[in-house]
Copies of this chain bind each other. A is one copy, B any other.
């Protein structure tokens, strides 16, 4: 493989050096197990502070599909359903994990990867009696599957609608860092509790080896959540492994710094390609969708590991993802290849 730089995704590199350094520091320490250790406690404290949710319950688990599955299957009764964007991760890329836990996903097309109150209203208007599932939770991701970012107003409107209609709103934050540090974002981290009932904070896509934090605003709602984690096979025996990582991520500003690097690099790549006249979809976070002539695809895939997202007769859409480890050198490598095309 003659890869020049990695733009395949934001989880191809193990972790940021600081994370590994923290693990080394505590590597021979005896710790409480199953997440009851002091590092996990520290990390949870940081998260509660940063997101302005002093009473929230925080849980660390391995993997984003698991975080989604855990929260959704915890709050829903068997006949209750999730509403999600048709392109939503839970609908397309989780191999039926939500349905596997017994729940229907009702999909709406949405717009630009996002759901709006009108979408939810249509679902509620259609589901009128017990011969259909009962919609009970709205699932969104921020940033979305296609890298778009909700505005604070969009989130507030959506959450208001949910609360008026007895629905939970859950934000899949596998790339929450990319959303919160996006130029398009105007929601403060401190305000996230005002726009949802629960959210996840992705670690693996932002510099950690693994780990997602699941934050549930209402601690009473979460009272039995550790039972549920165990029941789904997701309780981590060496929970301090996650605790150490998340403490490192949130004790200072590392989480935001890394996400900002992803977005900055993406912005530079976008601008660089724009100057070259490359055809791209609107830019919002760390995913850039580039439309190129089909004869350029093989090279770009070979050089940068990018994913093919849509094939046309003449042109193809490729996805470039930047990450915590993307450098200016990587960006230059892409620019150079595109220049050589001309």
Report how far A26 CA is from B13 CA in the complex, Å: 9
A-side interface residues, number (CB < 8 Å): 78
| Cβ 8 A contact of A78, one of B33, B62, B96 | B96
Report how far A32 CA is from B14 CA in the complex, Å: 11
Q: Are B3 and A79 in contact (CB under 8 A)?
A: no
Q: A63-B237, A96-B81, A130-B227 are in contact. Are A14 and B27 (CB under 8 A)?
A: yes
Which residues of A line the B interface, CB within 8 A?
3, 6, 8-9, 11-15, 17, 20, 23-24, 26-34, 62-66, 68-70, 73-74, 77-81, 92-97, 99-105, 130-134, 204-205, 209-210, 224, 226-238, 240-241, 244, 305, 325
Q: Are B9 and A31 in contact (CB under 8 A)?
A: no
Report how far A42 CA is from B151 CA in the complex, Å: 46
| Cβ 8 A contact of A134, one of B30, B210, B224, B244 | B224
- List the B side residues contacting A33 at CB < 8 Å: 8-9, 11-12
Report how far A293 CA is from B56 CA in the complex, Å: 43
Mostly, the A contact residues are loop
Report how far A79 CA is from B230 CA in the complex, Å: 8
Q: Are A73 and B78 in contact (CB under 8 A)?
A: yes
Q: Are A27 and B15 in contact (CB under 8 A)?
A: yes
| Cβ 8 A contact of A232, one of B74, B97, B204, B210 | B97
Q: Are A6 and B30 in contact (CB under 8 A)?
A: yes
| Cβ 8 A contact of A79, one of B134, B227, B305 | B227
Q: A12-B31, A33-B12 are in contact. Are A94 and B63 (CB under 8 A)?
A: no
Report how far A95 CA is from B282 CA in the complex, Å: 39
